[in-house]
Chain A
């Protein structure tokens, strides 16, 4: 068992290293910006004194390497800097305007996005596994073909198309669910759930296809094994053969693909949040991109990348844990 622990620790270290390099990439990319932020904020008619003052305020007068380590140190302490859009130029205006830091801005939205991802996962994972098992059970039947075509279509449609189709049928023509997800603090749970159901359904459509196809493929892969034939020959029903004998051995690739799809959700969430005006981190990211609020963009990017790496790492570790052959590399 100690061997497994070493492998997991190795992977975690590798993940941390990747994240560190990614943070450097993000920082370098942001520093490719022409001129500097102070000039950009104040515009053409700024006096040199004002520019210098803001530069000092934001720490832009330091060399890039120092700034990188300042930023990284801040991130590790949970301090993501202060947003330019709501910057608090105390030394410039002489008063404290009570502006919010990036962390203050991101924290509640991050919780909202997590809520959305959780609702999606709760709907999508059981649904796709059930559909995958059924498709494997009735393979090459009308049901299998229909499920295949439907999922292939939904996976290849853009997220906003699916979102508008759902809005059209479930919000406009049949007013069952609200098309705007204006979530706020202190909302009752049921209302919150109802308002985030439509974006969650859209994301479900996006991720279900891949998970379902992988479940089906993983199970069908096993059906030729001798032990499945044995189970069949002793007279078990096809359903029992698949659920009792094939599914447990197919779980490894299935868990792997679930983790990868949750990672994919992170990208999909941006567009869906914009369509439904859902106050999550994706919408904040897009808004900040538009007004070039660099600290927020930087922080969101890092959070997205961290979640992405973490989920990929989980998929990796899960597949190692479930497959003894990978535990003993040659």
Chain B
């Protein structure tokens, strides 16, 4: 195996040399080939080989022999998905350039493909989350009468599947497909609420610390320092242990505790940013003028500081949402996050994870856990693409 890889790398090295030489000969020593470093030539050859291999793998995935087709099924899906998403993002950008206000058209004109992909994906998730009951064939907690439990995903009758339930049913007979769709509502909704709460807490205290300064600033900042010294997932797990004892005694769902715990932990990061941004604004002349006018604290924070801190806070909101979303997914995956009967992606990955081992014989069965995990990944990637673009735009970074 390793010998093969080394042989391929050396072979490509020879090819790269040949490629450059052929280019020089064919173009009459044009500057492009004459000054081409060996590394660049190697890069071209490597890229071509990877592209050829992907095409070959895609053909293998469409092969009529099921053993070979199964082996390359996931690569085929990935390639198809990539192309479809790229085309969809491109079309969406075209649409954005054609319709809308002058401002939105201008925004879409300068947008890279990754950002339009991100916006499109976020829109799809939002629609799916809001109208989940309309899309899902069954309810998320509905135990369908007359349907067996533990139907294997993939709809292959020979393996214990059922074509009516393409993703199978869980251990008490609920439709996994419906739960996956409701997962958008629960997982994304809870993460969104948590992020909002974190911003409310962190933003308020951060601006207060920046405006008032003095001992309040000192106390809050030192408190935040201590809380930030503990890794957030570890701290969340510790607090969830304690919450899991309190929850049944107080009769409050554990999920509520989780929202509060993660919001508090993440609000420390928001506090830092809000305080730093606020401190830069507080020293401005217009704040001085407002103070001289005799405006109150509320006016200062909401009418003077907040509007001027929107841009960095908005970008932070996107990033913070990703972190919160991933933390909740990780907690659920570890079994202490969003509690049943609510459908949730992290929990589904843990429950269905074993099906990955079926991939060789029944690729469709293995897609069930990957769909849930992929749904999480896709949304965070999309948000990150959009934030990346926003930061790039606002910083005016042109290299």
Contacts and interface: CB of A to CB of B under 8 A. Distances in A.
Interface of A: 18-19, 21-22, 25-26, 29-30, 32-34, 40, 137-140, 142-143, 149, 152-153, 155-161, 164-165, 167-169, 172-174, 176, 179, 220, 237-239, 263, 266-267, 270-271, 274-275, 285-286, 289-290, 292, 294, 297, 300-301, 304-305, 308-309, 312
Most buried by B among A32, A143, A168, A275: A168
B373 A160 contact: yes
Contacts of B230: 22, 25-26, 301, 304-305, 308
A297 B376 contact: no
Nearest to B335: A290
Given A29-B242, A297-B237, A301-B238, 18 more contacts: A26-B238, A34-B246, A138-B40, A139-B399, A149-B114, A152-B388, A160-B329, A160-B373, A173-B360, A174-B71, A263-B231, A266-B234, A267-B234, A271-B334, A297-B238, A304-B234, A305-B231, A312-B229
Most buried by B among A21, A33, A138, A164: A164
Nearest to A30: B242
B24 interface: no
Contacts of B234: 266-267, 270, 285, 300-301, 304-305
A297 B229 CA distance: 17
A208 to B, nearest CB: 16
A34 B250 CA distance: 10
B177 interface: no
Interface in B223-265: 225-227, 229-235, 237-242, 244-246, 249
Contact of A29 (B239, B356, B360): B239
Interface of B: 1, 37, 39-40, 43, 47, 71, 74, 114, 225-227, 229-235, 237-242, 244-246, 249, 322, 326, 329-330, 333-336, 346, 349, 353, 356-357, 359-360, 366, 369-370, 373-374, 376-377, 380-381, 383-385, 388, 399
Contacts of B74: 168-169, 173
A304 B231 contact: yes
A239 to B, nearest CB: 7
Given A29-B238, A156-B322, A309-B229, A271 B245 contact: no
Contacts of A294: 241
A297 B234 CA distance: 10
A289 B336 contact: yes
A307 to B, nearest CB: 9
A87 B364 CA distance: 46
Contacts of A143: 43, 47
A128 B277 CA distance: 32
Contact of A164 (B233, B330, B335, B370): B370
A151 to B, nearest CB: 11
Contacts, number: 164
21 contacts: A18-B226, A21-B229, A26-B230, A34-B246, A156-B380, A157-B380, A158-B329, A158-B373, A160-B346, A161-B349, A161-B370, A164-B349, A164-B356, A164-B369, A173-B71, A267-B234, A270-B234, A289-B238, A301-B238, A308-B231, A312-B229
A263 B237 CA distance: 17
Contacts of A220: 399
Nearest to A35: B245
A239 B38 CA distance: 11
A157 B388 contact: no
A199 to B, nearest CB: 15
Contacts of B335: 286, 290
A130 B225 CA distance: 34
A19 B229 CA distance: 8
A274 B366 CA distance: 19
Contacts of B245: 33-34, 40, 292
